[in-house]
Structure formats: structure tokens, C-alpha cells
Structure 1
Amino acid sequence: MDNKTRILLVAGLLITIIAFFINIYAGGIVLIILATLVMSLFIMKDSVSLPDIVAEFTDDAKGIVIRNSGNDTAFDIHVALIPENIEYDLESLEPDASSVHPLEKMICSVKVVVTFRNTKQQAFSRTYPLSSTGDNFDPLKPMIPVFKWK
């Protein structure tokens, strides 16, 4: 546990004890808020250094867009297009950056396998089935489309 978390925990416990002597319900509320803050700090530590590479077609299906939507730089990126037998490498990709690899012809459908590493040298792999006529990934699409979505 780092110093900031310890300071927050000690100060929060002191405030909880003071609030407990004033009113037992106020002490309980402060304790619950303190537990929530400490848990959120631990969760934030787990999400550090996680790049997330996403592969998509360009609008004309003559290129592959590789985008890093994570919070860390991705290194040693290897992209393979199956069954087109096309492979290429990218040295690194910063967070919220993208790279376009042009293709010789339009591709109807392909499976893209992407492998990469983060700054801690942990290896990751993602697989994306892409189709030029199908729907692209929409993060806002509900799992159960109610109320006439779109």
C-alpha cells in the first residue's frame, strides 16, 4: 500500500470515529464512503498500463486501421490478415493514436489477429472478424435493443 492510500485510510478512520461519536448513522455513512474511496484506488492501480488495440476496415475497405484505445503505449505490434496471407509489424502505437495500412485491393471479409506488448513487456492478443458489408463495432449498442434503438 502506498503512502497516499495510507494517509487517506488513517484520515478517513479518524473522521469516522469523530462522526461515530456525533451520530452512529453519520459514522456508518462516512465508513461506507471511505471503503468506496479505498476500493476505487485499488481498482485504479489494476488498470494502469493497459493498451487496447482495435482493428477496423477503412471506409472503402482498401485498408486496415489499427487504433490504440487503451491507456498505455503498445509495442511490437504484429498484425496478420487471415486468409489473405498478409502480415506486417508496427514498432509502437501511442494511446489514442491510429495507423492505416493500405491494401492492394478491396477485401470483403477477413479475420485480423493482433499481438502486442505493453511497457511492462506483458503480451496481449486480440482477434477481430471484419466484414466490409457487415456492422462495425458500436460500443453504445445495447445488448437488448429496446425502445427502437437507432
Structure 2
Amino acid sequence: MDRTTRAVLVLGPILTIVFFFINIYLAGFVFVIFITVLMSLLIMQDSTSLPDLTAALSEDAKTLILTNVGSAAAHRIHVTLVPADKEFELPSLGADESHRHPLGGMMTELKVVIRFENNEGREFSQSFLLSALGGNYDPLKPLLPLFGWK
């Protein structure tokens, strides 16, 4: 547990008790804020070591681009290209880093299966369907497109 979480755990109940003697409603307000800040800190700790790899084809469809958009490095990366019957491995890919792998020819459609580990050894697996004619990964695309989103 880090220093900030310990400080919140100590100061929250103390401030709640102090404000309880001033006004019970004010103490309730401080307690709700204490619980909200504590839960936010615990959620942030869960997301500190999560790599997230994405795959995309280059504009000429001759190169596979792997990008780590997560918050930690990915280790022991194993990539399988399904219809091309190719496999390759990477030792690691840091946060916000990219790797370009030449495919040897133009690919129109490709399924990429990626297996990797985070710093603690937890395994992850993702798969992507890639097409040279469109459909690239867009992290800002909403799940349900509303109001004419393009």
C-alpha cells in the first residue's frame, strides 16, 4: 500500500470524528468524500500494471504495427498471424512504444492473435481482425454510435 492511500486511511476517520463533534451532517459529508477518495485510489492501483497491445496494418498493408497503449510494459510477446501461417516473438514492448514487423507481402485480411505477460507474470491474450480496406482500431469509437458520429 502506497503512502497516499495510508494517509487517506488515517486522515479520513480522524476528520470524520472531528467533524462529528461540530455537526453530524458535516461529518457524514466528510465520510462520503473519504470513501469516494479511498475507492478511487484503490481502483487506480488496480490499473497501474496493465499492458494493452493493439495491432494494425500499415497503409500499404505490408507491415504489421504493434503498439502498447497500456500503462506498463508487455513481456514475452508471442504473435500469430492466422492465414499467413507466421509466428514471431518479441522480448518486451514498453508503454507507448510501437514495433513494426514486415509481412513479406501485401495482406488483404489478417487475424492477429497476441499473447503477452505483464511485469508480475500475469498472462493476457487478444485477437484482432485486420483488413487493408478499412476497419482499423479506433480507441475513441463509441460502442453505440449516436448523433451521427463519424
TM-score by length of 1: 0.91
CA distance in 2, matches of 1:94, 1:141: 24
The residue identity in structure 2 corresponding to 1:99 is H
| Partner SS state of residue 99, structure 1 | strand
| Partner SS state of residue 107, structure 1 | coil
CA distance in 2, matches of 1:138, 1:35: 35
Change (3 A) 1:2 1:71: closer
Task: Output one character per residue of 1:68-90: Cα deviation in whole Å (capped at 9) or x when no partner.
Answer: 11111111111110111111111
Indicate the residue corresponding to 1:50 in structure 2: 50
User: RMSD of aligned C-alpha atoms?
Assistant: 1.5
Structure 1 stretches lacking a partner, 5+ long: none
Indicate the residue corresponding to 2:83 in structure 1: 83
| Partner SS state of residue 148, structure 2 | coil
| Partner SS state of residue 70, structure 2 | coil
The alpha-carbon deviation at position 4 of structure 1 amounts to 4.3
Task: Output one character per residue of 1:107-138: Cα deviation in whole Å (capped at 9) or x when no partner.
Answer: 11010011111121222111111111132122
1:1-150 matches, cutoff 5 A: 4-150=4-150
Number of aligned residues: 150
The alpha-carbon deviation at position 2 of structure 1 amounts to 5.4
| Partner SS state of residue 35, structure 2 | helix
CA distance in 2, matches of 1:30, 1:74: 40
TM-score by length of 2: 0.91
| Partner SS state of residue 59, structure 1 | coil
CA distance in 2, matches of 1:57, 1:117: 23
Percent of aligned positions that are identical:
48
CA distance in 1, matches of 2:122, 2:6: 29
The alpha-carbon deviation at position 66 of structure 1 amounts to 0.6
CA distance in 1, matches of 2:54, 2:3: 36
The residue identity in structure 1 corresponding to 2:5 is T
